[in-house]
Structure 1
Amino acid sequence: MRLGTILKLASIGAIALIIALVAVVKSIDVNDYRGVLTKAAKAATGRDLAIHGKLSLKLSLTPALIAEDVTLSNAAWGSRPDMIHLQRLRADIGLLPLLVREVRLSRLQLHGPEILLERNAAGKANWEFGTEVSAAVPAVESAATPTTFKIGQVSIDHARIIYRDARSGRDETLVIEQLTADADTLAAPIGLHAGGAWNGQHFEISGVLGSMNSLLTPAKPYMVKLKAVLPGVVATTNGTVSTGKNGIPVLALQVSADATELAEAVKMVGLGLPQLGAARVSLGVVGPVSSPSLVNIDAALGRRDIVALTAKGNIKAPMTGEGVDLLLFVEGESLAGLNRGGELVSPPVGPVKGFAHLTDIDGGWRLADLKLGLGHSDLSGDVALRVRGPRPSVEAHLTSSVVDFGELTGGRTEVAKPKTEASRLFPDDALPLSWLTMTDASVAWKIDRLVSEGLNIQQVSLSLSDNNGKLLVTPDVGALAGGKANGSLSVDASGKVAAVRLTLDADKVVMGDLLKAFNVSQNIHGARTALHLTFKGNGNSVRAIMARASGEVSLVVDKGTIDDAYADVVALDLLRQVAPWTQQKNTQMQCLVSRFSVADGMAHSEGLLFDTDAMTVSGQGSVNLANELLDLTVAPKPKDASLISMALPLDIGGTLLHPTVTPNRGAIVKGVAGVAGAIALGPLGILVPLVSAGSDDGNACLAAINQAKKPVPSPKKGGAKGPAAEIGKALQKLF
């Protein structure tokens, strides 16, 4: 038989076969297979598949199966009935491959799919199908299952993928406007292109994937080469995905990403960050997809002319935070560069340079070999954070050669003024105590030199511990303004009402230098001070604590000068009312001694003495810390006998925030002249132990106490002269 005849017969046979296949396909009623498809989906997922619209077969040499309004039910606990809703599906099926039990889709089109992915409060995901498959549902016979399944081109348009997490509150939406994946042959690489929006931000993905044949060959690595472009971000992935033990995919990918501004980039995933600058990262992702490792990490954030952070190393188990081995570097010209976006307010201090080694420890992470330089300040040591246990805990051991407090605060070293009501000094705002029960801490910090506005504080040791809401802070200062100080603060916030305990001891501290350093006053000079304070109270606000306070406070201050310009201070204003006859520019203070005992919110003066070169003022009374009312009496004793007639005792009333000064009523009844020495102000001898124990210049204070005990000398014949006499006459006429 001739070759031409053979070819003719073969052609006729092929045509006849195709006609027969078309006739067979034409005779099929595809609606008879709705039940088969539903049972197959139920067996595979445990969910209900429903085709609510048309199910039809479009006839041609490449028939097309079309299904409309297809749904797959959601988990029983889901937020809506359907997990997947597909508006239209079209699958172009090759006829001849069916003869060899191969389903070959030359094109698969999905139009308008909407997929809901969600987790409930217990952490269960609706895409976990395994536990819902019922054993009562019979599996589809394997004989009816084709041996192979191949797809040529996949096209998706107008798709929406919604992700919700009830635990974290995340709610994100991915819109795929168009996605195509196609290949010329089953052995050719697959070209991929997709575009859409993620949380309202446009993105594009393009690249090349391995062939369909390699995808269906488990032993062969599958190629992945993709590029993603998002607003301000370009990311690439290059590598392979292979099949490991138990069929788990194994990754071998190199990933890189560059962002012009990290804060803008992370908005797409619902995170808010201050504007820290550009970011780049390069790393390898290797290992099983369920537990990959990150290797050869090289990441950078920010700019060196502002502040830049760099990280290099590996993370063996990023899913659990274990196997961390990262070297961290920070470098920059000034922290002020962080203020660009307005979210941060950092002082203009620099340069910045630091290093640390981040590793994981049992239950957390550790920053070891920490070395940080910030302007003239430095910090070194190690910090550990543990997240296992009832509460997170922080443990730190730190040392500093120099801490420039003024530089770190941008020169704003003045004491912050609390927000108070117009009539109250102690605020009633709830103290931020909840954080004490949220985390534990143990911090030890030693500072060789603490600098603040010319004040040189040395040998500073600070210890802080917080255990289940019980805070203890114990500072110790070896050299403070010519003296030394130590104390302790404990706060027990484990109950409904906080318990506060405070002790403070200072010896030989030059008060003038201290007040200048913290911008409280520039007008007090000298005034070496000894202070002893013990205090305890219960409450959740400063006002509540003061209302129940108990303890004692004693103060001894020796020689100093108060400038006349210091007129905004209540004490000096009071001094002028006590002694209006003083004309000198500055007040030369010889000694100040005071002792108060505090019980149940009442502070009682056990002795008060203020001695200057012009007079001695003694006083007594009480301060109600609950309502802040003052009930004090002070009596001046001029050292110039000619001014005795003007020595008018005064009652100090009003409140701590708004004190009032009025003439003592007893003095008015007796007459002005000479009553200062007659006012009973308690035994001044009680102050002698304070003076002998707390002042370098105890003799001056003792002399002042002894002088105050003496009777008031009679004024010289003729009485007061000059301006003093005129003021005295005016006072006598007034009262």
Structure 2
Amino acid sequence: MAEQNRAEKSEPKKRTRAWLAYGCGGIALLGVATTTVGWFALGHINLASLASKRATALLGRAVSIQSLTITPGAWVGVQFQNVQVANVAGGSAPDMVQVGYLGVDVKLSSLFSGPMVVRHVRAQGVHVLVERTPAGVPNWRFKTQGMLAVPSAAPTPPAVAGLQSAGHAPPQPSQQPIMPVAKDRAHYPTVLEAELEQSDVTYRTAHGVSYQSVLHAVHMQTQGAQTPISLVVDGAYNTLPVHLEATLQPFAMLRQYQTPYGMAVRVTSGDLSVVFTGTATDPLNADGLAGAVQVETPTSAPLAAVVGYKLPQNIPLSMAGQFVHAGDLWQLTKGHAALKGNKLSVALAELYEGTHTQPDHVKADIAFEHLNMNTLLVKAEHAGQSAEADLPLAVSQTPDPLIEAHLTAQSVAYNVYNFQNFSILASVMPGVVGVQEMRVGYLGATLAASGQLQARPQGNTHIQAKALVSGVDIEAYRRALGFQPVPIKGRATLQMTAEATQPTLNAAISHATIAAAVGMTGGTLESAVIRAASADLGLLFHKATGTTPITCLLGVVSAQNGIGQVLPLRLKTEQGTLSANARFNLNNRSFDLIFATQRATTGSFALDIPVRVSGSFAKPRIGLAGLSATGRQMLAQSERLNSLPEGVRQFAQQNACYRAIAP
């Protein structure tokens, strides 16, 4: 009886449990069905509003998405249309990024384990503006730093007012920067294929200058996370056609963000070819680059087009060296090149981009073997004769970039001149080009000079310079100037100052105002000169032979526009002292010289009659100085000193002949 009662009581419990089981199963099936229906219905739901809000909160910038749809499956498709990311406050345009269309296919299982795998990415109409505001704020720094590069810790170049001169030492490389590194790429997806069309990236400097890279077609492909990536780009840079081919390390290496990422890149534009083989610490931002670079161009026209300059002639260029790009720093070291056949080595070529409205800063230390300026400066040939090389002397009030440069050459050809051991250390600052030191050898002599060029109205430049020329072989220079043989031998020293206000170097040389003192201690003079100059009657009985040592020689030179005077010209020997006065015209290559011996220094048979030599350099005429008014006037001046600048005066006062001349 008891057993029957227990069976009757258990029956309702079984039915209740069954109903609960059926109910829970139904609810589960309903949930699965709902999820399944919702999953497949995602392709018809626009998630743009939700995504816009989340992206705005994440970036700290207004993000607008017109359409966002998701297509479910083993490969989940995501499509964006008309995406806009606002620019930073103070930017030159409302939007930093505009995307017309972006489609991505993601492997569903990779969303739950391991880095994502993206089968295909396709984008059209992507426009990116990268800029610094006038206040120097970069628009590529967002509120979050998750995948952004850390700014380089390299120092900012000095401001204009504080531009430091290295004295007489070549410019030194900037402090080695901390290479920028993305914080985390460990979960960066593997993209098997990507295509980009009809897009562009514009970089705008703080000075308002824009550089645009147009991307007509970009294709990237790889077989998997462990295989190299192939990248091909067809586009243009500031309307200049550009083709890029690159082989990049696999995505597995890209995720190792603490290890520099390897790449081999070849860029061509017209006849220009640039090959880079190296690494990047921040490859997604094309930053932290370090490696070998090679540049080849038979005309240099593409390079000139990049900087907006039209070359007057083709200039073949071949260059290779070690390249670094870190933040605002672009640097080439250990380089060698050939510029229109002129071989050179590059110890340093550096560009530091200016920020906060400051100009860029360039440093260069370049050494030529032989530099032929004629091949670089002469524009064309004229009607059967060669054009003359000339160097413009343009000085900007607002130069950009500022420049510190050291240039050397074992030999330099400029017009008909051939110089040796050329070296110049110069700088470019607002309104001034300074030459801290210049050294050059010519015909055995050595010139050491310094000076500056200052901007003047109407395109002119004012030049101020001082120079010391030592070891001037009189015979060598006599031949170079086309003079007839002279009876004096030895080496002279020249201290000079020069000023001119002209637009080109040749014009400045022709129209310079020059003050100089020429001195000699040592050397020889033919004895016949003193005997003849003094009208020594002894010559009637025997011919003067041999030479006499020169005790001192001093000539004070003043010239303007190629016309000048040597006053006084004093030469002292054991056989007598000669005083002279000379006028010259380098424009028509003529001169007028009077000379006479001082009676107290010559022999008892000397008449000391003044002599005049005048005419062209090649065919001078000889006569008596006192027979013409010009000769008598020059004789009267021969014992007077010219006024001299301080530095030249100090040089002249050290000469023994100076003390015997009236002030």
Instruction: State the TM bucket, normalised to the shorter chain.
Output: 0.5 to 0.7
Length-normalised TM-score, structure 1? 0.51
Stretches of structure 2 that go unaligned for 5 or more consecutive residues are 1-30, 147-185, 354-359, 390-402, 446-455, 500-511, 521-532, 534-553, 570-579, 596-609, 617-622, 640-663
* Distance change (3 Å), C-alpha of 1:123 and 1:694: same
Selected match of 1:300 from 338, 342, 346: 338
Pair 1:258 & 2:299 matched: no
Alignment correspondent of 2:119: 106
* Distance change (3 Å), C-alpha of 1:65 and 1:695: closer
Following superposition, the deviation at residue 50 of structure 1 comes to 0.8
Pair 1:454 & 2:477 matched: no
Are the aligned partners of 2:81 and 2:102 in contact in 1 as well (CA < 8 Å)? yes
Alignment of 1:541-560 (within 5 A): none
Selected match of 2:199 from 149, 159, 172: 159
Q: Deviations over 1:351-389 (max 9, x none)?
A: xxxxxxxxxxxx944446865466554344643224589
Selected match of 1:383 from 396, 420, 424: 424
Alignment correspondent of 2:272: 233
AA aligned opposite 1:111: Q
Selected match of 1:63 from 70, 76, 85: 76
Alignment correspondent of 2:87: 74
Are the aligned partners of 1:310 and 1:329 in contact in 2 as well (CA < 8 Å)? yes
* Distance change (3 Å), C-alpha of 1:105 and 1:339: same
Matched residue of 2:204: which SS? strand
Pair 1:487 & 2:528 matched: no
Question: Quick one: distance in 1 between partners of 2:375 and 2:95?
Answer: 52
Matched residue of 1:80: which SS? coil
Following superposition, the deviation at residue 181 of structure 1 comes to 0.8
Following superposition, the deviation at residue 97 of structure 1 comes to 2.3
Matched residue of 1:188: which SS? coil
Selected match of 1:42 from 56, 61, 65: 56
Selected match of 2:254 from 215, 226, 230: 215
Pair 1:519 & 2:560 matched: no
Question: Quick one: distance in 2 between partners of 1:391 and 1:89?
Answer: 52
Question: Quick one: distance in 1 between partners of 2:513 and 2:293?
Answer: 47
Length-normalised TM-score, structure 2? 0.55
* Distance change (3 Å), C-alpha of 1:61 and 1:346: farther
* Distance change (3 Å), C-alpha of 1:105 and 1:232: same
Instruction: Report the count of equivalent residues.
Output: 457
Question: Quick one: distance in 2 between partners of 1:182 and 1:378?
Answer: 56
AA aligned opposite 2:336: D
Higher relative contact order (CA 8 A, sep 6+): 2
Following superposition, the deviation at residue 397 of structure 1 comes to 4.7
Following superposition, the deviation at residue 180 of structure 1 comes to 0.9
Question: Quick one: distance in 1 between partners of 2:589 and 2:635?
Answer: 29
Question: Quick one: distance in 1 between partners of 2:141 and 2:513?
Answer: 49
Selected match of 2:496 from 463, 467, 487: 463
* Distance change (3 Å), C-alpha of 1:560 and 1:33: closer
Alignment of 1:551-570 (within 5 A): none
Are the aligned partners of 1:227 and 1:235 in contact in 2 as well (CA < 8 Å)? yes
Question: Quick one: distance in 2 between partners of 1:694 and 1:28?
Answer: 107
Matched residue of 2:75: which SS? coil
Matched residue of 2:112: which SS? helix
Selected match of 1:275 from 313, 323, 336: 313
Are the aligned partners of 1:369 and 1:382 in contact in 2 as well (CA < 8 Å)? yes
Alignment of 1:56-205 (within 5 A): 56-100=69-113, 103-129=116-142, 149-165=189-205, 167=207, 170-205=209-244
* Distance change (3 Å), C-alpha of 1:290 and 1:453: closer
Selected match of 2:345 from 301, 307, 311: 311
* Distance change (3 Å), C-alpha of 1:309 and 1:366: same
Are the aligned partners of 1:462 and 1:476 in contact in 2 as well (CA < 8 Å)? yes
Following superposition, the deviation at residue 434 of structure 1 comes to 7.2
RMSD: 5.3
Structure 1 window deviating more from structure 2 (118-127 vs 258-267): it is 118-127
Pair 1:398 & 2:411 matched: no
Following superposition, the deviation at residue 152 of structure 1 comes to 2.6
Alignment correspondent of 1:528: 593
AA aligned opposite 2:93: R
Alignment correspondent of 2:517: 476
Question: Quick one: distance in 2 between partners of 1:323 and 1:561?
Answer: 50
Pair 1:693 & 2:663 matched: no
* Distance change (3 Å), C-alpha of 1:385 and 1:376: closer
Question: Quick one: distance in 2 between partners of 1:691 and 1:371?
Answer: 41
Following superposition, the deviation at residue 213 of structure 1 comes to 1.7
Following superposition, the deviation at residue 288 of structure 1 comes to 5.8
* Distance change (3 Å), C-alpha of 1:238 and 1:21: farther
Are the aligned partners of 1:296 and 1:313 in contact in 2 as well (CA < 8 Å)? yes
Question: Quick one: distance in 1 between partners of 2:369 and 2:614?
Answer: 50
Question: Quick one: distance in 2 between partners of 1:120 and 1:346?
Answer: 50
Following superposition, the deviation at residue 24 of structure 1 comes to 4.1
Question: Quick one: distance in 1 between partners of 2:276 and 2:136?
Answer: 30
Are the aligned partners of 1:86 and 1:112 in contact in 2 as well (CA < 8 Å)? yes
Following superposition, the deviation at residue 178 of structure 1 comes to 0.5
Alignment of 1:300-379 (within 5 A): 300-303=338-341, 308-313=342-347, 326-331=366-371, 335=374, 338-339=377-378, 364-367=404-407, 372=412, 377-379=418-420
AA aligned opposite 2:61: R
Following superposition, the deviation at residue 259 of structure 1 comes to 0.7
Following superposition, the deviation at residue 225 of structure 1 comes to 1.6
**Paired-residue identity, %:** 17
Are the aligned partners of 1:71 and 1:86 in contact in 2 as well (CA < 8 Å)? yes
Question: Quick one: distance in 1 between partners of 2:581 and 2:558?
Answer: 14
Alignment of 1:436-451 (within 5 A): 436=462, 443-446=467-470, 448=473, 449=477
Question: Quick one: distance in 2 between partners of 1:44 and 1:443?
Answer: 65
Pair 1:224 & 2:263 matched: yes
Stretches of structure 1 that go unaligned for 5 or more consecutive residues are 1-16, 134-145, 350-362, 405-429, 490-501, 531-555, 563-586, 595-610, 612-687, 697-735
Following superposition, the deviation at residue 129 of structure 1 comes to 3.6
Question: Quick one: distance in 1 between partners of 2:123 and 2:58?
Answer: 21
* Distance change (3 Å), C-alpha of 1:88 and 1:510: same
Question: Quick one: distance in 2 between partners of 1:341 and 1:196?
Answer: 34
Are the aligned partners of 1:251 and 1:285 in contact in 2 as well (CA < 8 Å)? yes
* Distance change (3 Å), C-alpha of 1:46 and 1:341: farther
Following superposition, the deviation at residue 86 of structure 1 comes to 1.3
* Distance change (3 Å), C-alpha of 1:589 and 1:390: closer
Structure 1 window deviating more from structure 2 (394-403 vs 451-460): it is 451-460
Following superposition, the deviation at residue 485 of structure 1 comes to 3.9
Are the aligned partners of 2:517 and 2:557 in contact in 1 as well (CA < 8 Å)? yes
Question: Quick one: distance in 2 between partners of 1:432 and 1:95?
Answer: 71
Question: Quick one: distance in 1 between partners of 2:375 and 2:117?
Answer: 63
Question: Quick one: distance in 2 between partners of 1:208 and 1:175?
Answer: 21
